């Protein structure tokens, strides 16, 4: 599945201006859940056999695309770093609450 999704994005959705919505991508590949689609994207991002970086934008206007320049790559890395920081922060809050 990862290879099919990657090739599709590479052939049809290069650059942020050409992103495809999560739902549309899921419909194309008959993937039934948002979580399953995110896992496919994660697998592609982690696999050295897929050298181009998949960018993403969150929210209603968001979607996935193949990064076409350094700015899009940096935006994707910063977005992921921000989300990781939010999750790390939540861990600290939950640990604090556990010890109340």
Domain CATH number, residue 56: 1.10.10
DSSP state of 48: T
Measured in whole angstroms, the distance separating CA 78 from the mean position of its chain's CA atoms is 12
| Mean of the per-residue pLDDT values of the chain | 94
E strand map for 6-80: 54-57, 63-66
**Predicted model pTM:** 0.86
Predicted pLDDT of residue 99: 87
Q: List, for the chain, all residue ranges whose pLDDT scores fall below the cut of 70.
A: none
Structure confidence at residue 58 (pLDDT) = 83
CA 13/CA 62 separation, integer angstroms = 13
Give the pLDDT score at 90. Answer: 96
For the segment 55-80, what is each residue's pLDDT rounded down to a tens digit?
998 888 889 999 999 999 999 999 99
Count how many domains the chain has: 1
Contact present, 63 and 57 (Cβ < 8 Å): yes
pLDDT given for residue 77 in this prediction? 94
**Residue 62's pLDDT is what?**
87
Domain of 89, in residue numbers = 2-98
Q: State the pLDDT at residue 60.
A: 83
């Amino acid at each position: 599945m990862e290879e099919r999704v990657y090739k599709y994005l590479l052939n049809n959705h290069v650059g942020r201006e050409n992103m495809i919505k999560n739902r549309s991508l899921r419909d194309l590949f008959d993937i039934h859940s948002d979580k399953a689609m995110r896992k496919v994207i994660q697998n592609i991002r982690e696999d050295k056999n897929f050298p181009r970086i998949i960018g993403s934008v969150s929210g209603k206007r968001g979607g996935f695309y193949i990064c076409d320049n350094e700015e899009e790559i940096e935006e994707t890395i910063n977005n992921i770093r921000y989300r990781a920081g939010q999750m790390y922060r939540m861990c600290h809050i939950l640990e604090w609450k556990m010890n109340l």
